[in-house]
Structure 1
Amino acid sequence: MTGRARLLLAALCLAVSGGQAEAETVQDGQLWINTTLFGSIGDLAFFAEVQPRIGNGISQLDQLILRPAVGWKINERLTLYQGYASVEDRGGAGRVRFEDRSFQEINWKIGEISGVKVSSRTRFEQRWQSAGRDVGFRLRENLRFARPLTPEKDSVSAVGWVEAFVALNDTDWGARAGFDRVRTFVGLEWPIGGTSTVEVGYLNQTARTAASGTEVDHILSLNLSVRN
């Protein structure tokens, strides 16, 4: 084999191995704790949410999200919200990023199908990050299914939901148009007085990374919803 052929073969092997490393799947175990206060005064609705997300094998705080919103109840099944989210992201190699989000949300109680309660949440986000100057636009759609396990009014319910995220444009801080991530949850929901609930279960998040690879997070999800 000539010297030129050896160099060509070495370059080809390096390119293939580099492509494989770039596209590899990264996995992590995480704990997400979400506390949300819901309320209403007449047709005026509001919620306020605090969510720490602990990652890297449940060893460090990766993200902290504060998310308040106010809205209007169109009827008992449909509510529109305008909200704001403050996001502190510590997941990147020693770097802390801050993100501001404005969002519009449609909450729709679709109805009951064969004993399963179906609801939808559609959210349109405008995102500003400290790592760049562009505004990122993202659309999120969540479909939730809940079925009481017994006929009693305060029954524990089996819950499942799926949420798809689609980025609508590229940004200078890393967002790329197209599929962003998908989250899938299965678990149980317990009533804890009135209409307040605790939801516990497994959440899988599969996301596209900036390096054209895939990140899969296996998450223990704990959600407390306090309703007045």
Structure 2
Amino acid sequence: MYRLLSVCLLSCTTIVAPAAAQTSHDEALWVNGTVMGRVQGPVVFFAEVQPRVGDGVSRLSQLLLRPAVGVELSKHVTVYQGYAHVIDPVENGPDRRENRLFQQVTWNVGKIGRLEVQSRTRLEERWRSDGNGMALRARQMMRFEYPLAPDARRVAALASVEGFVGLKSADWGGVNGFDQVRTFIGVEVPLAGASTVEAGYLNQTRDAPGRRVDMVHAASLSLFIRL
């Protein structure tokens, strides 16, 4: 398991290594609160709120509100249609706002020994308040979970890697091609019922204008309430 996680993290490092000399760094705190459950039959939902504190953990840099409704096609595959509203606070001016529609496929791939593997594929249509046009972006995340005890309700080691690729830009921005990669390593701790909390380190490495790279080092804390 540790060899597999090392390969994933090494692959992400290799992608951004050539631009290391032109990399800017920031420290942040990303918090995620998610409520999820079943509506009726195979219909499910989730709703997220995600405040992100950046600039050396000194101010709110972004707030995401993201609900979605999905259908379980099987016990392994669920498809979702969702909406996200993103607020970027701007000093001395109106906040920048982004509206997104997104389609998502979550696939519980299965187990490799005790290692649990999950895939999440997401397509986003994006509109922003500071310009015209729609940008299109694809995201692919692989998540790896390794239980640290044999019990059904146990602490688990977590790792994930998510790549972002721009498929279409707009006049306000967006990219064509590689956008960013996020990697996470941490632990999952069970709470009451089926709820969990996840805590760890998240790295966001993003292309920036002028052949620069912006890197965020974030303490990540996520609460998942399962109804």
The TM-score bracket by the shorter chain reads 0.7 to 0.9
| Aligned: 1:30 with 2:54 | no
Task: Supply the distance in 2 between the matched residues of 1:108 and 1:172 (Cα, whole angstroms).
Answer: 34
Match of 1:112 in 2: 111
Match of 2:9 in 1: none
| Aligned: 1:59 with 2:23 | no
What pairs up with 1:35-46 in 2 under 5 angstroms? 35-40=33-38, 41-46=40-45
Distance 1:94 1:203, change over 3 A: farther
The one-letter amino acid paired with 1:29 is E
- Quote how far apart the aligned CAs of 1:221 are: 0.3
- Quote how far apart the aligned CAs of 1:210 are: 3.2
Task: Supply the distance in 2 between the matched residues of 1:191 and 1:165 (Cα, whole angstroms).
Answer: 30
- Quote how far apart the aligned CAs of 1:42 are: 1.5
Task: Supply the distance in 2 between the matched residues of 1:195 and 1:169 (Cα, whole angstroms).
Answer: 39
Task: Supply the distance in 1 between the matched residues of 2:82 and 2:178 (Cα, whole angstroms).
Answer: 23
The one-letter amino acid paired with 2:74 is N
Identity over aligned residues, as a percent? 48
Match of 1:130 in 2: 129
Match of 1:8 in 2: none
Match of 2:172 in 1: 173
The one-letter amino acid paired with 1:83 is G
Distance 1:212 1:175, change over 3 A: farther
TM-score by length of 2: 0.87
Distance 1:92 1:158, change over 3 A: farther
Match of 2:87 in 1: 88
- Once the two structures are superposed, residues 119-160 of structure 1 have per-residue CA deviations (whole angstroms, 9 ceiling, x without a partner) of 010000000001111100000000000010011221100000
- Once the two structures are superposed, residues 24-73 of structure 1 have per-residue CA deviations (whole angstroms, 9 ceiling, x without a partner) of 32110000000000111211010000000000000100000000000111
The count of aligned residue pairs is 206
- In structure 2, the residue corresponding to 1:168 is in which secondary structure? strand
Task: Supply the distance in 2 between the matched residues of 1:75 and 1:115 (Cα, whole angstroms).
Answer: 22
- Quote how far apart the aligned CAs of 1:175 are: 1.2
Runs of 4+ in 1 over 3 A off after TM superposition: 91-95
Task: Supply the distance in 1 between the matched residues of 2:222 and 2:51 (Cα, whole angstroms).
Answer: 11
- Larger Rg, first or second structure (1 or 2): 1
Match of 1:17 in 2: none
Distance 1:215 1:92, change over 3 A: farther
TM-score by length of 1: 0.87
| Aligned: 1:154 with 2:157 | no
- Quote how far apart the aligned CAs of 1:174 are: 1.7
Task: Supply the distance in 1 between the matched residues of 2:142 and 2:74 (Cα, whole angstroms).
Answer: 19
Match of 2:205 in 1: 206
- Quote how far apart the aligned CAs of 1:92 are: 7.9
Task: Supply the distance in 2 between the matched residues of 1:210 and 1:131 (Cα, whole angstroms).
Answer: 18
What pairs up with 1:68-79 in 2 under 5 angstroms? 68-79=67-78
Distance 1:117 1:91, change over 3 A: farther
Task: Supply the distance in 2 between the matched residues of 1:93 and 1:110 (Cα, whole angstroms).
Answer: 47
